[in-house]
Amino acid sequence: MCNDSGSVKIFQTVSDSKDLEQQCRETVIAMECAAGISIPPLQSKEVQQFCVPNTLSQCFYLGKSVLEARANKTNPVEAFLQSQGGKLLFCGKVVDVDRNTAGEED
C-alpha cells in the first residue's frame, strides 16, 4: 500500500482475508485516508464465486472501445456509450476539486 507522499507498507504475513482487511484499514487511516493498494489477481474459481457475472468482460469491452476511439480520433464518450447501448444523461465541467486528505473521517 502506498500514498501520494511516498509512504509504503508491505503486508508480508496475514492470517486470512479479514486480517488483511484490518491491517489495510489501520494503514490507510495512518496514511490520512488516501492510499492505493495492489493485490494478486483473483483465480478463475474466485471470479466465478464472488464477482457479478459478465462484469469483467464488460470492463474489457468498455476499455477497448475507448482505446479504439482514441486511436481513430473519434469521440471516446460516444464509443463508450455505443458499446453498451448507453445514453448520455448530462455533461458538465469540473470547476473545483477539494484535495484535502487531513482531518476527520466521513
| pLDDT over threshold 70, residue 102 | no
> Residue 35, Cβ neighbours under 10 Å: how many?
20
List the domain boundaries for the chain: 1-39, 42-90
Of the candidates 6, 14, 62, 12, which has an alpha carbon nearest to the alpha carbon of residue 32? Answer: 6
**Using an 8 Å Cβ cutoff, are 27 and 2 in contact?**
no
- Separation between Cα atoms, residue 32 and residue 106, nearest integer Å: 12
What's the confidence (pLDDT) of residue 62? 92
Residue with cell 476539486: 97
pLDDT digits (tens, 9 = 90+) for 14-46: 888 888 888 988 998 888 888 888 777 778 888
pTM above 0.85, yes or no: no
What's the confidence (pLDDT) of residue 103? 60
